[in-house]
C-alpha cells in the first residue's frame, strides 16, 4: 500500500477514539466546556444512558454566532493561542478537538447565546458536515446536544456495556466534575428521573454530602496545608472507613480530576499500617499549584499529569495525612450489635463476659499495682533491648538511637487514656492473649501480639531510618540450606540486611550462614527467619524502592520479635505494654492493619445491659 494522507473525517474518528470512549466521556468534555465558560449552573439530560441523547446546558459566557462553526471544527479553541500558552494551562480544555471529535461519531447540535446578545445561534455538525448558522432562541448560555452516539462506529457501539454500566460511568464522571466545583449547581436527569440535584454551595463537604450521602461525608476529617507554592486541601476518611477498591480516592489538581501514581503512593504510605491489607481509604484531595509547575498535556483525556516537583507533592501529601492521623485516636469502637434480637445478643454477651471472668484466675491475673504509668529503664519486653554486641573479629558498633519518649501533652491526650496518669493500672490478661483494662470512659481490650508488634514496628522503623540497628554477633555462625534466589538476595542486598543488623554470608555450596543478627530478636529460629527475609527480598526487590523494602523487612522483624498470642506476661510486662500503647503513634492498628485495640464505652455497656 502506498503512503497517503488520511481524509479529515478519518483523522477525527481516530482522535475521537482517544477521547470519546462512551457516553461518560462525552459528558466530561461538554461539562468541562461549561465550567471553562464560567457557568454557575449546569444541567445534564440523558436518554438511554446517553446513547440516544446527551444534552448539556449551561449559563456560561456563550459563543458568538459567527464563531459557532469554529467551535465544532477540529483544532479550533478559544483557550490557547501560542505555543507558550501550553506551559501554563489554566482551563480544563485547550486541545480544541472535543466537539469535532464528538461530531465525528455522533450528531451534534450547538445552540448558544453570549451575554449581551439578544438572540442565539444554532449550528449542527455530523461527520464532515457543518451546517450554516441559523438563528434560534435561548437564554444566555450554551446547550450542546449529542444524539445517536457511535451511530457510524458499529464496533464502538457493540463495545458499550450494559446500560447500567454506562449509567454508573456517567455518574462517576459527574462526581469527578461536580465535587471540585461546589460553587456550580448541577442537575442530572435520565429520562424522567432526577438522578442528582446538587445546589451550588461554597463547601466541598456539603457537595460530597449531596453526592454521596451524609454517612460518608460526615465522617471525613478536613486537612489543609499550604507550603512552598503547593496548597493542599483534603477531606479524608478515618482509617476505619475503608473500601474494597481504590476508586474512592479522588484526587484533583487545580479543579481537574487526575489519577496519579505518586499521589496514590503517598496516600498508601500515610495509611500504611492503619488499614487492613487490600482495603482502601476514602480520600478527597485537592491540590492547587501554579499551572506552570505541572504539565497536563500528557494524555488526551488529561487524566494524567507530569509534575515539575514530584518530591514536593509527594511529601506534602504524606506529611499532611500523617499529621492528621498522629493527632487522633483511631481506635475503632466495638461494632454495635444488631438490634434484631436484642435479648439473645445481650444474653450472649453476659455469658461471654462471665466466661472470661471465670477463666481469669483472680490470684494470677487480676493485677493491681501502683507505679509510674510510663515504665522507665529497660522494661522486660516491648522496648527493643540494646544489648552491647559480643566481642568478635569485626564488631558492629552499637547504635543508640532511642528517640526521646514522646509524652503526650494534655491537649493531645487520647480520649481513652488508661486509668488516671500516675494512678494504678488495673489490667487482666485473658486466654494468654488479650489484655483487658479500664479506660476513662469504659474498657479496652488489647490484642497483645498486635499491639506489641505495632510498638516494635514504630520504634524499629524510626531507628532504622537513622542508621543500622544494633547487631549481635553469633559466636558460632548458624548455617542453613539456601536456594539460589536466597543466595543471590543475600549477596545483592548486603547493605540493606546490615541496616537491619543482619550479616548473612555464603557458607559452602547451597548454604548460607547468619553471622550476626539484630539484637532485638531472640536468637531462636534465626535461620528460618533469615530465609523468610531473603525470600521477601528476592520477591520484591525489583519493584519497590529500597526504603519501602526496608520497611517491609522491619514489619517481618516486628512480627517475629513481638510477644505471641498465648505468651504469659508478668504484671510489669503488661503495664509496660499498655503504657506504651499511648505513646506509640497509630497504635490502634498493627502493621498488617489488624486492629490492636477494641474499645467499649460505658455507654455501650449500659446500652447492652439495658440500663439506659
Ligand atoms: P477546547 O475546550 O479544547 O477548546 P472544544 O472542542 O471542547 O475544545 O471546544 C471548542 C471551543 O468551543 C472552545 O474553545 C470554546 O470557545 C467553545 N465552547 C465549547 N463549549 C462551550 C460552552 N459550553 N460555552 C462556551 N463556549 C464553548
Ligand atoms: Mg473542551
Given the CA of residue 32, which atom of ligand 1 is nearest to it?
Answer: 2
How many A from CA of 93 to the centre of ligand 2?
4
Q: Any residues with CB less than 8 A from the CB of 9 and at least 6 apart, and which?
A: 104, 127, 128
Grid coordinates of 221:
476529617
How many A from CA of 112 to the centre of ligand 1?
11
Residue % of the chain over a pLDDT of 70: 80
Ligand nearest to the backbone CA of 76: 1
Does this model's pTM top 0.85? Answer: no
Task: Identify which of 25, 27, 77 to mutate to test ligand 1's pocket (most ligand atoms within 8 A of the CB).
Answer: 77
Grid coordinates of 509:
555450596
Question: Ligand 1: residues within 6 Å at CB?
Answer: 29, 33-34, 37, 58, 60-63, 71, 77-79, 93-100, 142
User: How high is the pLDDT of residue 332?
Assistant: 55
Whether the per-residue pLDDT at 243 is higher than 90: the answer is no
Residue with cell 514496628: 457
pLDDT band for position 188 (cuts 50, 70, 90): very high
Per DSSP bridges, beta strands 129-130 and 41-47 are: unpaired
> Which pLDDT tens digit goes with each residue over 16-26?
666 788 999 99
Look up residue 280 and give its DSSP letter: B
Q: E strands within 322-418?
A: 367-369
Closest Cα to residue 60, out of 179, 145, 185, 176?
Answer: 185
Ranking 16-20, 68-72, 251-255, 588-592 by mean pLDDT, the lowest is: 588-592
User: How high is the pLDDT of residue 383?
Assistant: 38
> Which pLDDT tens digit goes with each residue over 399-412?
222 323 322 333 23
> Which pLDDT tens digit goes with each residue over 539-559?
777 667 777 788 888 888 888
Ligand nearest to the backbone CA of 32: 2
Q: By alpha-carbon position, which residue is closest to atom 25 of ligand 1?
A: 62
- Helix/strand number for the chain, H first, E second: 19, 24
> Which pLDDT tens digit goes with each residue over 375-387?
223 333 433 333 3
User: How high is the pLDDT of residue 99?
Assistant: 93
Ligand nearest to the backbone CA of 43: 1
Q: By alpha-carbon position, which residue is closest to atom 19 of ligand 1?
A: 33
User: How high is the pLDDT of residue 512?
Assistant: 93
How many A from CA of 132 to the centre of ligand 2?
21
Ranking 66-70, 156-160, 448-452 by mean pLDDT, the lowest is: 156-160
pLDDT band for position 344 (cuts 50, 70, 90): low
**Mean confidence (pLDDT) of the chain:** 80
pLDDT band for position 207 (cuts 50, 70, 90): very high
User: How high is the pLDDT of residue 516?
Assistant: 93
Look up residue 249 and give its DSSP letter: E
pLDDT band for position 441 (cuts 50, 70, 90): confident
Phi first, then psi, for residue 236 (nearest 5°) are -125, 145
User: How high is the pLDDT of residue 592?
Assistant: 65
Amino acid at each position: 500500500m502506498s503512503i497517503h494522507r488520511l481524509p479529515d473525517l478519518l483523522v477525527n474518528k481516530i482522535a475521537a477514539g482517544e477521547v470519546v470512549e462512551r457516553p461518560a466521556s462525552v459528558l466530561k468534555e461538554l461539562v468541562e466546556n461549561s465550567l471553562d465558560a464560567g457557568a454557575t449552573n449546569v444541567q445534564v439530560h440523558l436518554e438511554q444512558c446517553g446513547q440516544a441523547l446527551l444534552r448539556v446546558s449551561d449559563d456560561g459566557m456563550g459563543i458568538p454566532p459567527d464563531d459557532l462553526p469554529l467551535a465544532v471544527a477540529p483544532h479550533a479553541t478559544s483557550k490557547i493561542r501560542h505555543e507558550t500558552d501550553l506551559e501554563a494551562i489554566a482551563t480544563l480544555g485547550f486541545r480544541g478537538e472535543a466537539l469535532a471529535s464528538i461530531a465525528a461519531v455522533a450528531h451534534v447540535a450547538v445552540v448558544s447565546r453570549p451575554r449581551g446578545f439578544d438572540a442565539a445561534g444554532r449550528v449542527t455538525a455530523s461527520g464532515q458536515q457543518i451546517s450554516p448558522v441559523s438563528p434560534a432562541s435561548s437564554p444566555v448560555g450554551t446547550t450542546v446536544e449529542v444524539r445517536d452516539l457511535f451511530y457510524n462506529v458499529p464496533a464502538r457501539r457493540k463495545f458499550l456495556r450494559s446500560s447500567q454500566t454506562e449509567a454508573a460511568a456517567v455518574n462517576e464522571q459527574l462526581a469527578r466534575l461536580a465535587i471540585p466545583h461546589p460553587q456550580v449547581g448541577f442537575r442530572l436527569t435520565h429520562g424522567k428521573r432526577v438522578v442528582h440535584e446538587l445546589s451550588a454551595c461554597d463547601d466541598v463537604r456539603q457537595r460530597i454530602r449531596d453526592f454521596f450521602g451524609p454517612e460518608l461525608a460526615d465522617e471525613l476529617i478536613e486537612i489543609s496545608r499550604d507550603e512552598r507554592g503547593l496548597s493542599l486541601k483534603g477531606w479524608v476518611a478515618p482509617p476505619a472507613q475503608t473500601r474494597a477498591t481504590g476508586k474512592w480516592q479522588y484526587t484533583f489538581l487545580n479543579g481537574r480530576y487526575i489519577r496519579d501514581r505518586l499521589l496514590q503512593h503517598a496516600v498508601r504510605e500515610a495509611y500504611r499500617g492503619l488499614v487492613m491489607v487490600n482495603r482502601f481509604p476514602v480520600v478527597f484531595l485537592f491540590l492547587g499549584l501554579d499551572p506552570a509547575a505541572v504539565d497536563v498535556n500528557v494524555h488526551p483525556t488529561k487524566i494524567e499529569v507530569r509534575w515539575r516537583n514530584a518530591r514536593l507533592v509527594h511529601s506534602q501529601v504524606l506529611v499532611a495525612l500523617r499529621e492528621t492521623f498522629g493527632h487522633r485516636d483511631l481506635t475503632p469502637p466495638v461494632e454495635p450489635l444488631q438490634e434484631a434480637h436484642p435479648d439473645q445478643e445481650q444474653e450472649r454477651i453476659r455469658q461471654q463476659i462471665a466466661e472470661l471472668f471465670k477463666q481469669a484466675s483472680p490470684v494470677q491475673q487480676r493485677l493491681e499495682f501502683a507505679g509510674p504509668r510510663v515504665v522507665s529503664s529497660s522494661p522486660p519486653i516491648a522496648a527493643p533491648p540494646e544489648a552491647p554486641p559480643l566481642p568478635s573479629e569485626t564488631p558492629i558498633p552499637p547504635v543508640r538511637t532511642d528517640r526521646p519518649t514522646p509524652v503526650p501533652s494534655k491537649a493531645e491526650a487520647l480520649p481513652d487514656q488508661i486509668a488516671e496518669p500516675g494512678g494504678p493500672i488495673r489490667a487482666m490478661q485473658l486466654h494468654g492473649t488479650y489484655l483487658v483494662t479500664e479506660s476513662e470512659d469504659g474498657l479496652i481490650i488489647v490484642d497483645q501480639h498486635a499491639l506489641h508488634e505495632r510498638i516494635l514496628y514504630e520504634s524499629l522503623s524510626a531507628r532504622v531510618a537513622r542508621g543500622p540497628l544494633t547487631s549481635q554477633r553469633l559466636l558460632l555462625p548458624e548455617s542453613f540450606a539456601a536456594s539460589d534466589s536466597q543466595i543471590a538476595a543475600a549477596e545483592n542486598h548486603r547493605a540493606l540486611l546490615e541496616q537491619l543488623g543482619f550479616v548473612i554470608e555464603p557458607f559452602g555450596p547451597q548454604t548460607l550462614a547468619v553471622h550476626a543478627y539484630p539484637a532485638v530478636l531472640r536468637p531462636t529460629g534465626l535461620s528460618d527467619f533469615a530465609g523468610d527475609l531473603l525470600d521477601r527480598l528476592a520477591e520484591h526487590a525489583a519493584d519497590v524502592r529500597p526504603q519501602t523494602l526496608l520497611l517491609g523487612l522491619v514489619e517481618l522483624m516486628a512480627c517475629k520479635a513481638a510477644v505471641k498470642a498465648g505468651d504469659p506476661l508478668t504484671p510489669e510486662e503488661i503495664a509496660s505494654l499498655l503504657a506504651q500503647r499511648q505513646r506509640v503513634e497509630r497504635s490502634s492498628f498493627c502493621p498488617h492493619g489488624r486492629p490492636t485495640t477494641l474499645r467499649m464505652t460505658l455507654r455501650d455497656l449500659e446500652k447492652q445491659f439495658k440500663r439506659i
